[in-house]
Structure 1
Amino acid sequence: MNLSEPKDLAALLEALLLASGKPMSIERISELFEEAERPSNAQLRKALEVLEKSCKGRAFELKEVASGYRLQVRARFSPWVGRLWEERPQRYSRALLETLALIAYRQPITRGEIEDVRGVAVNSQIVKTLLEREWIRVVGHREVPGRPAMFATTRQFLDHFNLKNLDELPPLAVLREMEPAPLALDEEDAPVPDALQARADLAAPMQTPDEKPSFRSLLQELDNMESGLKTDFDDLPDEPQTTNRE
């Protein structure tokens, strides 16, 4: 195999990405080569371009997300591919999806600030679930009495929702400003509309490469959201290395 030839190198990268089953950065791919044979970053990117073009007309595609590159099944095949998993995907409440959306668009944000916007207390289990799924993390504490924790999304969140960075979040300008309204005690666990739940079901963790849902699809039926988009992680501390619990 001639690793200086983009086509040969692209075939090798395809094998590595298929075997990995998770996103791989240029730096991580480079580490897999012996020093004497290691391609330059420019050569790796060229080979990835070749691989991307070779996926045209095939059932899978090369996708760049926050943590790197991965091969995944195209979205149009998801209804059939999803039947490979007999276990029913975890169901997400409207309250959880609204909380996640607010963190994504208003980060860093405290639990109290989320409650101010939603007009209802945030169930502790919702925050626990989002932390356990490693979709959010604590990035500091607000310098106010009580020093409440501030939450922000993670790279795992971006990877899961098929995003390269926060710039790719759908704009909120088209959504209405949230109007806080008291909820009955049992409304926190009220059923999510079927169309929204179907999109959330697609977000269940999969052990093989597959197309991830877009965050836009999860927001389409979440009405009354407040605008205010954060577009980068530059002012947040570096994310510590964590173990994937999924």
Structure 2
Amino acid sequence: MPNFPDILEALLFASERPVPLEKLAAILEISPASVEAELSALCDEKNAVGALQLVEVAGGWQFVTKSEFAPFVRRLKDEKKSKLSRAAFEVLAIVAYRQPVTRADIDTLRGVESAGPLHFLLERKLLVPSARKDAPGRPWLYTTTPRFLEQFGLKSLEDLPELDEFAALEGVGHEAQTLNLFERPA
């Protein structure tokens, strides 16, 4: 029978999505603490050499290609990924930093109607209507999804960059301050 590190590596390699620690423990029939120790060792081993690295993302563990190999991997893939428009990125940022938020809140912050970008983000499963607001008309409240975390390489929403990190990018910090994106609602 193969040893635990090899089984763990095979499971993570075969999965298209991050695998939670608890699921790995259940499959391997060992404690989560033991899986965590094996993951740590595997992480050290894989991240030191080779083209792959093991990362904790979106509540689970996943092998990803190291960034220096991205240009070559892109050439291999024939599929074109749809890029986020500026409007979609604005909507996504508003929801990420202020969630849960209604479409009316998004429209107010952006100063324009946001149905199109919101629909685009819902189709790509980056956002989800999570509940109804207890207000007239009972509008949907939107939140980000685990897929959002996965696509942006975040463990949790706490890993979102702070405003001062955006200030280093030309124009983005000023726009973010103007829109009050990073001010969480009371």
Q: Provide the C-alpha distance between the structure 1 equivalents of 2:79 and 2:56, rounded to a whole number of angstroms.
A: 28
Gaps of 5+ in 2: none
Query: What's 1:27 paired with?
Result: 22
Query: What's 2:182 paired with?
Result: 228
Q: Is the 8 A contact 1:108 1:152 kept in 2?
A: yes
Equivalent residues in 2 for 1:1-246, closer than 5 Å: 1=1, 8-33=3-28, 38-55=29-46, 56-122=48-114, 124-173=115-164, 175=166, 222=172, 224-225=175-176, 226-228=180-182
Q: Provide the C-alpha distance between the structure 1 equivalents of 2:30 and 2:79, rounded to a whole number of angstroms.
A: 42
Segments of 4+ in structure 1 off by > 3 A?
173-176, 219-223
Query: What's 1:179 paired with?
Result: none
Deviation, 1:155, is 1.2
Q: Is the 8 A contact 1:173 1:227 kept in 2?
A: no
Of structures 1 and 2, the one scoring higher in RCO (CA 8 A, sep 6+) is 1
Gaps of 5+ in 1: 3-7, 177-215, 231-246
Q: 1:221 to 1:65 in 2, by over 3 A?
A: farther
Q: Is the 8 A contact 1:62 1:72 kept in 2?
A: yes
Aligned-partner residue type, residue 75 of structure 1: S
Deviation, 1:87, is 2.9
SS in 2 for 1:163: coil
Q: Provide the C-alpha distance between the structure 2 equivalents of 1:138 and 1:152, rounded to a whole number of angstroms.
A: 6
Deviation, 1:65, is 1.0
The root-mean-square deviation of aligned C-alpha atoms, in Å, is 2.2
Aligned residues: 179
Q: Provide the C-alpha distance between the structure 1 equivalents of 2:57 and 2:171, rounded to a whole number of angstroms.
A: 25
Q: Provide the C-alpha distance between the structure 1 equivalents of 2:7 and 2:134, rounded to a whole number of angstroms.
A: 50
Structure with the higher helix share, 1 or 2:
2
Deviation, 1:168, is 0.5
1:87-111 Cα shifts (integer Å, max 9, x gaps): 3221321101111111001111111
Deviation, 1:25, is 0.9
Q: Is the 8 A contact 1:52 1:62 kept in 2?
A: yes
